[in-house]
Amino acid sequence: MSALDAVGTTAEPDAEPTGEAGLGPWAAAWRRLRRNPSGIVGAVIVLLFVLVAVLAPVLAPYRPATGQWFGEVTPTSVPGPSAEHVLGLDSFGSDLLTQLLYGARSSLVIGVVSTAVGLAVGAVLGILAGGLGGWVDTVIMRIVDVLLSIPSLLLAVSVAALLGRNAVSIMLAISAAQVPIFARLLRASLLAQRGQDYVVALRSLGLRRRRIVVGHMLPNALGPVLVQATLVLATAVIEVAALSFLGLGAADPAVAEWGRMLVTAQGRLEQAPQLAVYPGLAIAVTALGFTLLGEALREALDPRSDR
């Protein structure tokens, strides 16, 4: 982190507003983030979500998708809250709370893995395009344009139809839609820095292009990428649910997934609306958490936001 601080401060020595004197840009950003109430709410939601996802086996009162109380579910009614089942049962006779907690797991794993893949591939493309320029840039940006011109749902449907209905294809589908976002972001950020004094200085010092790009320009582009990744995680959580909602999700019913819980709840909307409300709220709150955190990060990392 200290290396990053050094790069940042040398690049913009007097960008810090009063009261933050002596702090590096990352420390100043952290300070601004802590003072942003909606950012804290977002961070708390995200933290809770991650904790629930990781600790699901400990927190959940039962094992997931057992269907062991199937006998209690009748065609006309689904048992509601009781002493044994805080939120009641789902329509397959499993504990609803357990399913919700394990659903956080699927969302987190799929969301994080897909964003990581999308970020990695997009970053490589963006760095090649922005760092090398010339025909490499042209070719890569044409590919990105084509990717952008296909609605993300279609990309997702194609990938899922090609690879079959499983969690891996959902992940790849979501990352495919994210690749152009990250590629453009990194390219734009690198291009913007190209003409800056410190880059010119490094070049005149005789540093190799790869070293300038990887060692100096890239760290300065990290902020926007971090912001975008957080915001993209919010959409990823919704997309995961949307794809399962369309029937593209994991075919294995033993995997608890919020989107599929919503689909199956539709058949019993009249008798048991809670089956739809809880997973829906879970998706919305998680997405809200990532969005709030992302927007707060954006404000915090922007040196111009001197509040």
Partner 1 sequence: MLTLIVRRLGLLVLVLFGLSILLFAWVRALPGDPARALLGQKATPAGIAEVTARYGFDKPVWQQYLTYLGRLVRGDFGASINTGQPVLSTFTERFPATIELSVAALLLAVVVGVPLGYVAARRRGGLLDNLAVGGSLLGVVVPVFFLAVLLKYVLSIWLGWFPTSGRQDARIDATHVTGFYVLDGLLTREWDASWDALKHLVLPALALGSIPLAIIVRITRASVLEVLSEDHVRTAQAKGLARSVISRRHILRNALLPVSTTLGLQAGALLSGAVLTETVFSINGIGSYLFDAVNQLDYPVLQGFILFIALVYALVNLVVDVSYGLIDPRVRVS
Binding flag, residue 304, partner 1 (CB under 8 A): no
Q: Work out the number of other CB atoms within 10 angstroms of the CB of residue 148.
A: 16
Return the ∠ at Cα 114 (arms to 227 and 97), rounded to 5°: 95
Q: Which is nearer to partner 1, 73 or 248 (CB)?
A: 248
Residue span binding partner 1 (CB under 8 A) among the ranges 92-100, 123-131, 185-193, 281-289: 281-289
Q: What is the token pair recorded at 44?
A: 């708390």
Q: CB 169 → partner 1: shortest distance, Å?
A: 12
Alpha helices in the chain (DSSP H): 2-11, 25-34, 37-59, 96-132, 134-149, 152-163, 167-194, 197-204, 209-211, 218-245, 258-266, 274-301
Q: Is residue 79 a contact partner of residue 88, using CB atoms and an 8 Å limit?
A: yes
Binding flag, residue 301, partner 1 (CB under 8 A): no
Q: Which is nearer to partner 1, 216 or 268 (CB)?
A: 268
Binding flag, residue 160, partner 1 (CB under 8 A): yes
Q: Which is nearer to partner 1, 6 or 269 (CB)?
A: 269
Binding flag, residue 153, partner 1 (CB under 8 A): yes
Binding flag, residue 248, partner 1 (CB under 8 A): yes
Cα separation, 16 vs 22, in Å, equals 9
Q: Is residue 28 a contact partner of residue 62, using CB atoms and an 8 Å limit?
A: no
The CA distances from residue 268 to 10, 118, 262, 279, in Å, are: 62, 37, 10, 14
Binding flag, residue 238, partner 1 (CB under 8 A): yes
Binding flag, residue 152, partner 1 (CB under 8 A): yes
Q: Which is nearer to partner 1, 139 or 214 (CB)?
A: 139
Q: What is the token pair recorded at 153?
A: 């749902």
Binding flag, residue 191, partner 1 (CB under 8 A): no
Residue ranges that bind partner 1, judged by CB under 8 A: 145-146, 149-154, 157-158, 160-162, 234, 238, 241-242, 245-248, 262, 265-266, 269-270, 273, 276-277, 280, 283-284, 287-288, 291-292
